[in-house]
């Protein structure tokens, strides 16, 4: 088994999307540019969703236009539908992500569609991406439990992961959206999905509401997962998952992985600086920005 692990930085998107203060584009660009120096291969920087649903992401095009691109880094954007995909391409996103849910309640609350309807829309996006030569990543939210429907069966996750892989996603990230899943529930879900698809095309995405994300990352490592989403400074939360807190903090994941002997290729000093900037952005602290 490989002892190298990739952290996929999602702070500029998942981290910032839920902030109450409308963060100026220049601050977002400064964060992305700093993260670009940390050694990530992929950074999720934008989201082409309805500005009525997520006002914080409305200036995603300006963010992508303003960043200093580091060669070899893929700058990613969320796209819920064809309209979002076209905007992401126009803004120069290197890859896009479609985001589904294993539960009906969250799918309806987050993207105003049933799971089946969402998969139809995503099929249009993956087809357009194929034609445009862009790769597509997939997410499955509520892989253990849902704020609206309660516990989610591993088989429901397997069904949505299967659909996303079949339509051409190169990787699917299974998410603990609420950030409170038990290690047992994470293990049961990952057992089902890795048995069905292997671990190489899967990633895990933990929010850390309950403080158990690092333990759950260890559970996922034991199931062979080698890509983890995280947000610098522990920023984050989903506007359509009430009570969910930030993503697990990138710098904490990097330290956890280093202690376990895994190589991430990240510069921990740059990460610490980016975490400080992220926290200042959250506080809106002009002195620190």
CB-wise, 81 or 126, nearer to ligand HMG? 81
* CB-nearer residue toward Mg ion: 9 or 14: 14
Positions in the binding site for Mg ion (CB under 5 A): 14
Q: Which residue has the tokens 């993207």?
A: 111
For residue 135, the SS3 value is strand
Structure tokens at 154: 């591993």
* 99 in contact with ligand HMG (CB under 6 A): yes
Establish if 81 lies at the interface with ligand HMG (CB under 6 A).
yes
- Adjacent-strand bridge partners of 43: 9, 75
Cβ-defined contacts of 77-81 (< 8 Å, 24+): 77/13, 77/44, 77/45, 77/46, 77/47, 77/48, 78/13, 78/44, 78/46, 78/47, 78/48, 78/49, 79/48, 79/125, 80/48, 80/49, 80/111, 80/121, 81/121, 81/124, 81/125
Q: 72: how many CB neighbours lie within 10 A of its CB?
A: 9
Of these residues, 142, 146, 169, 238, which one is catalytic?
238
Report in angstroms how near the CB of residue 174 gets to ligand HMG at its nearest: 9
Q: Does 216 bind ligand HMG (CB under 6 A)?
A: no
Among 84, 233, 234, 246, binds ligand HMG (CB under 6 A): 84
129 binds, among Mg ion, ligand HMG, none (CB under 5 to 8 A by kind): none
Contact 155, 91 (CB under 8 A): no
User: Across the chain, how many H-helices and E-strands are there?
Assistant: 10, 10
Question: In the range 105-164, which residues lie near ligand HMG by CB under 6 A?
Answer: 110-112, 139, 141
Of the two residues 134 and 270, which places its CB atom closer to ligand HMG in the complex?
Answer: 134
Say whether residue 83 binds ligand HMG (CB under 6 A). Answer: yes
CB of 249 to ligand HMG, least distance (A): 15
Residue closer to ligand HMG, measured from CB, 135 or 258 = 135
146 is known as an active-site residue: no
Q: Which residues bind to ligand HMG, rule: CB under 6 A?
A: 14, 17, 47-50, 53-54, 78, 80-81, 83-84, 99, 110-112, 139, 141, 175, 177, 205, 207, 238, 240
Active-site amino acid positions: 238
């Amino acid at each position: 088994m490989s002892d190298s692990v990739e952290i996929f930085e999602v702070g500029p998107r998942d981290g910032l999307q839920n902030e109450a203060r409308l963060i100026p584009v220049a601050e977002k660009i400064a964060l992305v540019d700093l993260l670009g120096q940390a050694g990530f291969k992929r950074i999720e920087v934008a989201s082409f969703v309805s500005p009525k649903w997520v006002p914080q992401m409305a200036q995603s095009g300006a963010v992508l236009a303003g960043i200093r691109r580091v060669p070899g880094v893929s700058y990613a954007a969320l796209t819920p539908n064809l309209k979002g995909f076209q905007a992401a391409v126009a803004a120069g996103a290197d890859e896009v992500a479609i985001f589904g849910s294993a539960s009906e309640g969250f799918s309806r609350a987050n993207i105003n569609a049933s799971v089946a309807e969402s998969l139809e829309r995503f099929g249009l996006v993956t087809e357009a991406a194929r034609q445009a030569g862009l790769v597509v990543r997939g997410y499955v939210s509520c892989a253990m439990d849902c704020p609206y429907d309660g516990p989610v069966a591993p088989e429901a996750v397997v069904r949505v992961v299967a659909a996303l892989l079949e339509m051409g996603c190169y990787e699917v990230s299974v998410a603990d959206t609420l950030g409170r899943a038990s290690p047992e529930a994470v293990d049961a879900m990952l057992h089902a999905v890795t048995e069905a698809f292997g671990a190489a095309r899967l990633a895990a995405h933990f929010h850390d509401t309950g403080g158990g994300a690092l333990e759950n990352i260890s559970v996922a490592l034991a199931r062979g997962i080698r890509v983890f989403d995280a947000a610098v400074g522990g920023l984050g939360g989903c506007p359509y998952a009430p009570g969910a807190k930030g993503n697990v903090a990138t710098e904490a994941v990097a330290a956890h992985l280093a202690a376990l002997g895994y190589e991430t290729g990240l510069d921990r000093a740059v990460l610490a600086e980016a975490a400080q900037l992220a926290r200042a952005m959250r506080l809106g602290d002009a002195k620190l920005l």
